[in-house]
Structure 1
Amino acid sequence: MAGTAKAPAAEVEVAGHTVRLSSPDRVIFPERGFTKADVFGYYLAVGDGIMRALRDRPTTLQRFPDGIGGEAFFQKRVPARGVPPWLTTARITFPSGRTADELCPADLAHVAWAAQMGTVVFHPWPVRAGHVDHPDELRVDLDPQPGTDFADAVAAATELRALLAELGATGWPKTSGGRGVHVYLRIAPRWTFTEVRRATIALARELERRRPDLVTTAWWKEERGERVFVDYNQMARDRTIACAYSLRANARATVSTPVTWDELPDVDPDELHLGSVPARLAQRGDPHAGIDDAAWDITPLLEWADRDAAAGQGDLPYPPDHPKMPGEPKRVQPSKDRDRPR
């Protein structure tokens, strides 16, 4: 018996470029039945929102050529051959000193091309092509630990909102696509990754001091307890977060979705998915539409960092794949640290 014929490839005009869509009927999200054409169409439908998140940002692609559940990999380098001549890249430097030319979306055709290549999740750096060593986005990742859930992340985000208001800063919340909450701040691209990470640690520590029952900055899981971890290392060089309007690689095909502060407590992350978010964006507009209007000066956070250092609270551990940094404490799990006081 002959097999079912495959749907033919199509050529789609996107932002003045022709993008080929092959194997449009390939299933990418088996549980929901969403196909490659659905993923491609989704990214076109949320074009304004995702370009606000990706424009001119070096971007790592999380690709699933055979769909969720199949082989997956992170692509940090755009191939030297076989790509459209209009594709824009930006050269970034890893902590090791090695470099890579990453996709740097100049228009929606770049996103469409990535979707054609099996990209499900977009992981942009917090920098723009013109300032690749100086972040313009401070990202706060509120990550619920075992025993906590989305409601706890929302509670932590609400505390963070109040703290930012005291500083005169505006935070822009979004769901992570899972149980967490991300809050972004737009900042001027004048500080290094080390400085912005230091500022993030200071902000996280102040939040922890105000709600020690709810929030933790403990890098080691054995010390976190049932609290929301502020993952300050998301601001370390070469660490990225799924961007606003990016799909997530889970069976539910959820979306990391911008929301307003007022609606955040009532949001159900599982209801924000490939099938629902385009209509939401069309009806309500993008809650992050004003994110680029003003850059905030992180000097107050750096002053807090100096204050904490003077009180004996210095740096915190970097990710395990990061080179050892000056002033960094030992990367030893506390329960295995033989030199730790008992």
Structure 2
Amino acid sequence: MSLREVWKLAGLEVEVKNLDKVFWPEEGWTKGDLLRYYRTVAPYLLPYLRGRPLTLKMCPDGVAAGCYYRRKRPGHAPDWMPAVLYNPKTRTGQVPLILVENEAHLIWLVNQAAVEFHVWASFARDLGHPTWLVLDLDPGDRSRFADVLEAALWVRRELERLGLEGWPKTSGGRGVHVLVPLEPGRYTHAQVRAWAKGFALRLAERSHGLLRLPHGATHRGAGVFVDYAQNGYGRNTAAPYSVRARPGAPVSTPLGWDEVAAGGFDPASFHLGNLPARLERNGDPMRGMLAGGARLPEL
């Protein structure tokens, strides 16, 4: 492979550079490997990104050399890169948030050293109304990943009792995210966050100490913490099939509930090197989440 190539994507020409730059030193994976990964999984990833504001984790010199977050559309971006204006509370003016609509947009951002893609729960056309709810299950420092999978099954059962369906994925770390699709345009971020908090309290009361509410940023002790705070205006979650800027290049990977119930796997076993083969073999177990959304019942 040459150090520079031009890829034709979505009717556009995208230049990709420094393909031999090592991004994961221990594994020897390069920027070229990252670019090829995102090009391969784009048909599965784009349905979760398209039309939603993004926050990116940028690692210009690889994941071991320091990374930073970016949500503002780069000033040097080509004219065909889309954005949506957003007025954050911390600034007086509007910020153009990054959007991705097609494969060319995705690969242009990865060529700029975007490793992680974090996505809003709402669309750019209706920023104030999320179309999914997120329950982030994080293990305490004395818990195992098996405990997180058991907790996810508790979440599933409690959702089903309320007539709701949840869709699990690994976080790309030691946790699991369960997403619940919502009817578009019905709920504000504040309403969804309040419902998620009430549901987390319900889980904590019924799970015999397995599920707990977080207290601060550090999760100490046994049990699994239900972080409902990812539901909020301007908050975002690692997108399905996003690589994480961590050793081993783990991927936030959608799971089937049968896989959750069977357990016995390490979430780090899903990574940049093998996810395309998994998708080719199994397809996307989360794809049904995009078909529609539900109303939140009273707790």
Range into which the TM-score falls when normalised by the shorter chain: over 0.9
Encode CA deviations 1:104-132: one digit per residue, 9 max, x unaligned. 11112111111100011001111111111
Report the counterpart of residue 250 of structure 2 in structure 1.
254
Encode CA deviations 1:262-316: one digit per residue, 9 max, x unaligned. 0122432121000100010011110111111121101x1xx33xxxxxxxxxxxx
Q: Does 1:44 align with 2:36?
A: no
User: Which residue among 145, 151, 154 is the counterpart of 1:150?
Assistant: 145
Indicate conservation of the 8 Å contact 1:140/1:183, yes or no. Answer: yes
Q: Which has the higher strand share?
A: 2
Indicate conservation of the 8 Å contact 2:141/2:220, yes or no. Answer: no
Report the counterpart of residue 115 of structure 2 in structure 1.
120
Larger RCO: 1 or 2 (CA < 8 Å, sep 6+): 2
Query: How many pairs are equivalent?
Result: 295
User: Equivalents in 2 of 1:156, 1:78: separation in Å?
Assistant: 38
Letter in 1 for 2:43: D
Letter in 2 for 1:22: K
Q: CA deviation at 1:94?
A: 2.6
Report the counterpart of residue 288 of structure 1 in structure 2.
286
Larger Rg: 1
TM score, norm. by length of structure 1:
0.83
Encode CA deviations 1:7-32: one digit per residue, 9 max, x unaligned. 43111012222111011100111111
Q: Does 1:130 align with 2:125?
A: yes
Encode CA deviations 1:54-109: one digit per residue, 9 max, x unaligned. 111100110000001113111111123x2122111122333436532111111121
Letter in 2 for 1:211: S
Letter in 2 for 1:125: W
Q: Any idea what SS the aligned residue of 2:257 has?
A: coil
Q: CA deviation at 1:256?
A: 0.3
User: Equivalents in 2 of 1:17, 1:37: separation in Å?
Assistant: 19
User: Equivalents in 2 of 1:211, 1:281: separation in Å?
Assistant: 33
Letter in 2 for 1:244: P
User: Equivalents in 2 of 1:158, 1:67: separation in Å?
Assistant: 36
Q: Does 1:96 align with 2:94?
A: no
Report the counterpart of residue 270 of structure 1 in structure 2.
268
User: Which residue among 174, 187, 193 is the counterpart of 2:169?
Assistant: 174
Q: Structure 1 245/205 Cα, relative in aligned 2: closer, same or farther at 3 Å? A: same
Report the counterpart of residue 84 of structure 1 in structure 2.
78
User: Equivalents in 2 of 1:100, 1:204: separation in Å?
Assistant: 33
Report the counterpart of residue 194 of structure 1 in structure 2.
190
Gaps in structure 2 of 5+ consecutive residues: none
User: Equivalents in 2 of 1:91, 1:58: separation in Å?
Assistant: 10
Encode CA deviations 1:172-194: one digit per residue, 9 max, x unaligned. 10011111000111112321111
CA RMSD of aligned residues (A): 1.7
Q: CA deviation at 1:202?
A: 1.1
Percent identity, aligned pairs only, is 37
Indicate conservation of the 8 Å contact 2:142/2:220, yes or no. Answer: no
TM score, norm. by length of structure 2:
0.94
Q: Does 1:204 align with 2:200?
A: yes
Report the counterpart of residue 333 of structure 1 in structure 2.
none
Q: Any idea what SS the aligned residue of 1:153 has?
A: helix
Encode CA deviations 1:246-267: one digit per residue, 9 max, x unaligned. 0011111110000100012243
